[in-house]
Amino acid sequence: MEFSILTNYFGLYMEGFYGTVLSSVLALIGSFLIGAVIAVFRITTVRALRWFGTAYVEFIRNIPLLLVVYIFYYGPSALGFTLDGFKAGTIGLAVYTSAFIAEAIRAGIMAVPKGQMEASRSSGLSYIQTMLHIILPQAIKLVIPPLGNQFINLIKNSSVLTLVAGLDLMYFADSISTETYRTFDTYIFVALFYLVLTLPLSYGVRVWERRLQRKY
Amino acid sequence: MKMSKSFKMLSVLMIAAMLVIAGCGNNNAKNNAGGNDAAAGAATDSEAIAKIKERGKLLVGVKYDTRLFGLKDPASGNVEGFDIDVSKAIAKKILGDENAIELKEVTSKTRIPMLNNGEIDMVVATMTITEERKKEVDFSDVYFQAGQSLLVKKGSPITGLDDVTKDTKILGSKGATSIKNIKEKVPGVTVLEFDNYQDAFSALKAGQGDALTTDDAILYGMASQDPGYEVVGEPFTDEPYGIAVQKGNTDVVKAVNDTLAELKTNGEYDAIYTKWIGKAPAK
């Protein structure tokens, strides 16, 4: 393995790493917010919202991520503005992941036995109180693992930014590999950079999961 | 405890696997490099021409996917372009009939191996003459003078390399020497790289950049696809295209060079050039 690639091009690697981290963090926050709202739509009793939530999830979840990103990259020019590769990629990533997160949150809430809701409602708690104090604390326990997996996927998926010149880790790695002609070595270091992000996350998710289990 | 132990094991295994795979990669690279040296033995002088005459057909390797130079029309199945017209002229010179020709598809990767295998007599396929390639094949005189240029939306304030500043967004294709060139000509310029020219052109159309740069030969092809775009300014690098033949076939090189000289003096070269590129060649 050619370690000189890492040292010679460390600046480029770090620039890409920064892009990947920033895009992932922004997309993570965005996808969680959108996903939570869509999950609420999915379980609400208002039919129009439920219909919208279902349509959103089914549409986004069943098309390739690259296509979602292309829509935000090439699409806006028809409306008279542009989003650069980084913005279009990050928004696309957030929108795409939000569909999966909505499903994970919804599944978590649905997995809490119906009796819990009925029991607390008959004890005099309101719907909102029941949700906040009875259902959600139990749902979170179930939602953490799939949510964590979605966030890990999101970090890996952020490599689509390279296809719209989004200045992420893979984008700069492509430049490095065409300059050094050492394709394999270049990408091995890229893998290590991704692992630096994803391994602690998957470990953290497991720790958190265990802590929640102990509580109940 | 158990968790962290298996975690450690996993890390060790993963790194070990990476090292092994990396090692394999290096070996493969070496093997490939060795394979290229084994060029087939070249035929002696005059034998090559005699062989073509005996066969009664000139076998030419051309591109099937390059607009303006060698493009297969999916509807008619005909391959047409600048390279094909030049090939026909060479067939006429050697065999006296411009249709005594058989075209074979080559790519940048396959053209030298196919030539050295004897599958084709010559390569007329947007091939830049380089010192590196001269070690493998013999080249004719320059038959097309390409150079790096700029493609912009019609009416763009950019009319040449001089208008490219640090604030200009340039689009290009990954791995192309044109990216390196523009960065040298305009230090600090923003360059966005895409996987291929089609994506770069789409990005230009979507307003993601101010100009697309590569060989003007490719840019003219894009401009012919969409009349809203034009090639501006004079080429600022030198990409001489040559016709390649098997090493040692000097009689074929001579026949090709004679043909090119004839085409240039009788004005036919200018006619072919104008037919495909849309303007007369720069003198």
Q: Is B47-144+240-277 a domain of CATH 3.40.190.10?
A: yes
- Per-10-residue mean pLDDT of chain B, 283 residues long, equals 58 62 46 38 65 93 88 89 95 92 88 90 91 90 93 93 91 81 90 86 93 89 90 90 93 94 94 88 73
The sign of the CA dihedral A197, A187, A159, A173 is positive
Location of structure tokens 């104008």? B274
CA distance B114 to chain A (A): 24
In the prediction, which pLDDT does A191 show?
Answer: 94
In the prediction, which pLDDT does B38 show?
Answer: 37
ipTM rounded to 2 decimals: 0.78
CA distance B78 to chain A (A): 33
In the prediction, which pLDDT does A90 show?
Answer: 97
- Is A57 part of the contact surface with chain B (CB cutoff 8 Å)? no
d(CA A18, CA B14): 24
Residues of chain A positioned with their CB less than 8 A from the CB of B22 = 1, 184-185, 188
Chain A residue with Cα closest to B196: A163
In the prediction, which pLDDT does B266 show?
Answer: 93
- Is B25 part of the contact surface with chain A (CB cutoff 8 Å)? yes
- Is A184 part of the contact surface with chain B (CB cutoff 8 Å)? yes
- Is B228 part of the contact surface with chain A (CB cutoff 8 Å)? no
- Is A73 part of the contact surface with chain B (CB cutoff 8 Å)? yes
The domain spans of chain B are: 47-144+240-277, 148-232
- Is A66 part of the contact surface with chain B (CB cutoff 8 Å)? no
Location of structure tokens 């291929």? B196
Cβ separation B193–A171 shorter than 8 A: yes
Strands of the B122-123 sheet, one edge to the other: B101-105, B58-62, B122-123, B239-246, B137-146
User: Containing H/E element for B143?
Assistant: strand B137-146
Least Cα distance to B21 among A31, A27, A1 occurs for: A1
Least Cα distance to B70 among B86, B54, B55 occurs for: B86
| A-B C-beta contacts closer than 8 Å | 51
Tell me if domain B47-144+240-277 and domain B148-232 are identical in fold: yes
Residues of chain B positioned with their CB less than 8 A from the CB of A183 = 25
User: Containing H/E element for B206?
Assistant: none
Q: Compute CA A166 distance to the chain's CA centroid, rounded to the nearest angstrom.
A: 17
In the prediction, which pLDDT does B258 show?
Answer: 94
Residues of chain B positioned with their CB less than 8 A from the CB of A206 = 3
**Mean predicted lDDT score pLDDT of chain A:** 90
Cβ separation A165–B193 shorter than 8 A: yes
Cβ separation A206–B26 shorter than 8 A: no
Tell me which of A74, A190, A195 to substitute to probe the interface with B (most B C-beta atoms closer than 10 Å): A74
Q: Digits of tens for pLDDT over chain A (216 positions)?
A: 778 888 889 999 999 999 999 999 999 999 999 999 999 899 888 899 999 999 999 999 999 999 999 999 999 988 989 999 999 999 999 999 999 999 999 999 999 998 998 999 999 999 889 988 998 888 888 888 888 989 999 999 999 999 999 999 999 998 888 777 677 888 999 999 999 999 999 898 888 778 777 755
Chain B residue with Cα closest to A200: B7
Cβ separation A73–B206 shorter than 8 A: yes
Cβ separation A174–B18 shorter than 8 A: no
In the prediction, which pLDDT does B18 show?
Answer: 60
Residues of chain A positioned with their CB less than 8 A from the CB of B193 = 165, 171, 174-175
Structurally, what CATH architecture does the domain formed by B148-232 represent?
3-Layer(aba) Sandwich (3.40)
Location of structure tokens 């990396």? B22
User: For A76-98, what is each residue's pLDDT tens digit?
Assistant: 988 989 999 999 999 999 999 99
Phi, psi of B169 (to 5 degrees): -95, 115
- Is B282 part of the contact surface with chain A (CB cutoff 8 Å)? no
Tell me which of B20, B194, B208 to substitute to probe the interface with A (most A C-beta atoms closer than 10 Å): B208
d(CA B156, CA B176): 24
Tokens standing for residue B40 = 């087939």
Residue A44: beta bridge partners? Answer: none
Residue B81 backbone class (left: φ over 0; alpha: ψ -120 to 50; beta: rest)? left
- Is B40 part of the contact surface with chain A (CB cutoff 8 Å)? no
Domains in chain A (CATH in brackets) are 3-215 (1.10.3720.10)
